[in-house]
Amino acid sequence: MAFETLLNPILNPLLGMLGYFWTLLILVFVITLIITLIYKYTTNQSLMKDLKAELKSFQKQIKELKSKPDEAMKVQKKMMETNSKYMMHSFKPMIFTFLPIIIFFGWMSAHLAYYPILPSEEFSVTMNFNDGVTGNVELILSEGLSPINELNQTITANQATWFLRGEEGEYLLEYKFNNQIYNNEVVISTAKDYKEPLSKIKGGGITDIVINLEKVRPLEKIPLVNSIPWIGGFGWLGTYIILSLIFSSLLRKMMKIY
């Protein structure tokens, strides 16, 4: 992918040295810093400050007018107009931040979502079927891959699963079902690399084919987070959101951004 071509030379070595959490932490900080700086210098901060002060004033007036609903409604209408202006000016920086975010998110999705399959490590592939589909499915392997169970599998509970291992490399897996061939790809690598594990299939009674990769949970090995299981269970995107909210709040306060 183009995104990987742009960032792989810098970020792949960083991921290899620091691991998932610290690489993600650095990326979140860099991305948040870029977004914050762009926001600061592409918006009229004096105007944003005035609009924010106006919004606070309206909120205070509405609280004071609880016993006078008609007047409170008039103030609320003015507040909505001011909020609309504030939001309109806030959206302007998105024009400049859209491309950097897409590039970084493309790389993170391709490298931080799953653990890779290592050479000689056992992994499994599952083909899922619609209800009521029966029969046998044959898996055709490329050279370098070895089966652990039978290549010809009977569909059971709407699934057929194969257990495999192989040498380092990129492989095409082919599945023969009802005289049709379906395929997906798998990567075996010592680097933190993998192919998208889910391949959607249209027609033929098949719903999808899944390479059963283990998800990366960047926070699960951080000592203080272990006591909060629901946070430790977040994947890269959930972790990104948490860290970006923290960094964004701190950077905005430091730079006095409105």
- Does residue 202 sit in the same domain as residue 143? yes
- Does residue 148 sit in the same domain as residue 72? no
CATH of the domain at 142: 2.60.40
Return d(Cα 116, Cα 213) in angstroms, integer.
Answer: 7
223 in a structural domain: no
Phi/psi class of residue 18: alpha, beta or left (left: φ > 0; alpha: ψ in -120 to 50)? alpha
What three-state secondary structure class fits 203?
A: coil
140 in a structural domain: yes
- Does residue 9 sit in the same domain as residue 81? yes
pLDDT band at 243 (very low <50, low <70, confident <90, very high): very high
152 in a structural domain: yes
- Does residue 201 sit in the same domain as residue 171? yes
222 in a structural domain: no
CA distances from 134 to 177, 182, 183 (A): 10, 17, 19
- Does residue 170 sit in the same domain as residue 134? yes
- With a CB cutoff of 8 Å and minimum separation 6, the contacts of 57 are none
Asked if residue 177 lies in contact with residue 206, where contact means CB atoms within 8 angstroms, the answer is: yes
Quote the percentage of the chain above a pLDDT of 70.
Answer: 95
Entry pTM? 0.82
Find the mean pLDDT for residues 39-68: 88
Q: Is the pLDDT of residue 4 over 80?
A: no
- Write out the residue range of the structural domain in which residue 105 sits: 2-113+232-255
Return d(Cα 187, Cα 253) in angstroms, integer.
Answer: 44
221 in a structural domain: no
- Does residue 160 sit in the same domain as residue 57? no
Counted domains in the chain:
2
73 in a structural domain: yes
